[in-house]
Amino acid sequence: MQRLKNKTCVVTGAARGIGRAIAARFHAEGGIVVATDIDEAAGAATASAIGCRFEPLDVREEAGWSRLARLVPVADVVVNNAGVTGFESGAAAHDPEHASLADWRAVHRVNLDGTFLGCRYAIGAMKATGTGSIINISSRSGMVGIPGAAAYASSKAAIRNHSKTVALYCAQQGWRIRCNSIHPAAILTPMWEPMLGSGADREARMQALVAATPLRRFGLPDEVAAAAVLLASDEATYVTGTEITIDGGLLAGSAASPG
């Protein structure tokens, strides 16, 4: 059964990691996928491998979204996945005391401004039919404090709340346009590479992360994609303004026995 048959699905940040997995899964489910990314070479290669369409998009730029609106004026599903941690170029930790305003703004411009613009595009691309699914990729870091990643955590928390605002607004207009957020944690993607490092203690860092997760393993991008398929499909037409956490049990609490 193709759960997204003939649905036009736009996925940002689709060149790698979770975005690539979602684009591939949507295509396999019969979706008409438009994969977008700022990295044109990697994005085009991914789209070619999947068998879908690619369009370059810098989610930070309003002009890029206006161009996409002209090229893809109607959409059934929009996944706002593009995001950065701020550590991609080896930057220091973004703690609340030492993070620079420039670094803070750079992370929010991609993660939060990009999601805002993506939601605005989605509403415009869906309101003619009055139906659709907006899926915003937040993070477990958007639900708890992260001392060394203040900008990232703040941006992801804002995505969670904006998703609820969009959901309520669309319902208020009488549209069947749903908006939900997905909150992954410890998903094994290239985004982890700068944080894991390449030194002798890389393996120790990985083992520490695994040990902190109740299911004792990293999650996989395909496991996030599976949740995205559910939210995109007609099986979830009564699900809006909520979040799905995919974290191996991290937020469930402590697995330690009481003393």
Query: Where in the sequence numbering do the catalytic residues fall?
Result: 152
Q: Retrieve residue 231's tokens.
A: 């939210």
Distance CA 58, CA 52 (A): 19
